[in-house]
Amino acid sequence: MDEDSTILTEACSGLALHKADGQVYHAHYMLKEFRTLGPYIRQHWYRYLLGILCLLLVDSAQLLIPQYIQRSIDAVAAGQARSAVLAIVVWLLGTAALVAAGRFLWRFFIHGASRRIERDLRDKLFGRLMTLPMKFFQDNSVGDLMARATNDMQNIRMASGMAFVAFFDGVFMSLAILAVMFARHPATALWVVIPLPLITLLIIFFGRFLGRRFKVVQERYADMSTVVQESLQGIRVVKSFVKEDYFSRRFGLANDRYRDASMAVVRLYGLFFPLITFLAGLTTLLLLLVGGGAVLENRMSPGNLAAMLAYLEMLVWPMVGAGFTVNMIQRGAVSLKRINEILHLAPEAELAAAVVGESGDQGDQGGASLMATSRAAAAVPTAVPTGAAGHLEIRDLSFTYPGTATPALSSVSLRLPAGQTLGLLGRIGSGKSTLLKMLPRIVEPPRASLLIGGRDIGSYCLADLRQAIGFVPQESFLFSDSIRHNVCFACPDLSAARFSEVLRISALERDIDLFADGWETMVGERGLTLSGGQKQRVAIARALARNPQILVFDDALSAVDAGTEELILAGILADRAGKTNIIVSNRVSTLQRADLIAVLDDGGLIQFGPPAELIRQDGFYAETAALQELAHHVAEGRD
Does 239 share its domain with 355? no
Q: Quick one: pLDDT at residue 556?
A: 77
Residue 282 lies in a domain: yes
Per the model's pLDDT, the better-predicted residue between 584 and 31 turns out to be 584
Averaged pLDDT, 109-129: 89
Claim to verify: residue 252 and residue 361 sit in the same structural domain: no
DSSP state of 522: B
Same domain, 354 and 335: no
Q: Is there a single domain that holds both residue 176 and residue 305?
A: yes
pLDDT of res. 170: 81
List the Cα angle 595/600/606 in 5-degree steps. Answer: 85
Distance CA 390, CA 420 (A): 8
Same domain, 206 and 296: yes
What integer pLDDT is reported at residue 31 of this predicted model? 65
The reported pLDDT for the residue numbered 351 is 58
| 114-128 mean pLDDT | 89
Over residues 301-320, the mean pLDDT reads 79
Mean pLDDT in the chain?
79
pLDDT for 531 beyond 90: no
Say yes or no: 301 and 364 in one domain.
no
pLDDT, average across residues 69-81: 78
pLDDT-above-70 percentage for the chain: 84
DSSP string, 79-142: T--HHHHHHHHHHHHHHHHHHHHHHHHHIIIIIHHHHHHHHHHHHHHHHHHTTS-HHHHHHB-H
pLDDT of residue 13: 38
Rg of the chain over all Cα atoms, to the nearest angstrom: 35
Q: Do residue 227 and residue 364 come from a single domain?
A: no
Residue (of 383, 401, 187) closest to 286 by Cα position: 187
CATH of residue 243 = 1.20.1560.10
In a domain, 98, yes or no: yes
Q: Is the pLDDT of residue 135 over 80?
A: no
pLDDT recorded at residue 207: 65
pLDDT digits (tens, 9 = 90+) for 412-440: 999 998 888 899 998 888 888 889 888 88
* pLDDT for the residue numbered 341: 85
The overall pTM is greater than 0.75: no
The H-or-E segment that residue 74 falls in is helix 45-77
Residue 322 resides in a domain: yes
Domain that holds residue 326: 3-343
The amino acid occupying position 287 is L
81 and 149 part of one domain: yes
H and E: helices and strands count for the chain: 26, 10
Confidence of residue 17 (pLDDT cuts 50, 70, 90): very low
- For residues 442 and 603, the answer to whether their CB atoms sit within 8 Å is no
What is the tens place of the pLDDT at every residue in 176-222?
888 888 888 888 888 877 777 777 677 767 766 776 787 788 788 87
Number of domains in the chain: 2
Rounded-to-5 percentages of helix, strand, coil across the chain: 65, 10, 25
Please report, for residues 119, 155, 220, 383, 634, the alpha-carbon distance to residue 150 in angstroms, rounded to integers and kept in the order given. Answer: 11, 9, 14, 37, 57
Shared domain check, 354 and 334: no
User: Residue 221: inside a domain, yes or no?
Assistant: yes
Highest mean pLDDT among 43-52, 307-316, 486-495, 552-561: 43-52
91 in the same domain as 188? yes
Among 19-23, 163-167, 259-263, the range scoring the smallest mean pLDDT is 19-23
pLDDT in tens, 209-228: 776 787 788 788 878 888 88
CA angle 177, 181, 183 (to 5 degrees): 115
**Residue 484 pLDDT > 70:** yes
DSSP code of residue 629: H
119 lies in some domain: yes
Q: Is residue 54 scored above 90 in pLDDT?
A: yes
135 and 94 in a common domain? yes
Q: Determine the 3-state secondary structure of 439 from DSSP.
A: coil
* Cβ–Cβ under 8 Å, residues 472 and 543: yes
Q: How confident is the model at residue 116 (pLDDT cuts 50, 70, 90)?
A: very high
154 & 183 share domain? yes
Q: Residue 388 domain-assigned?
A: no
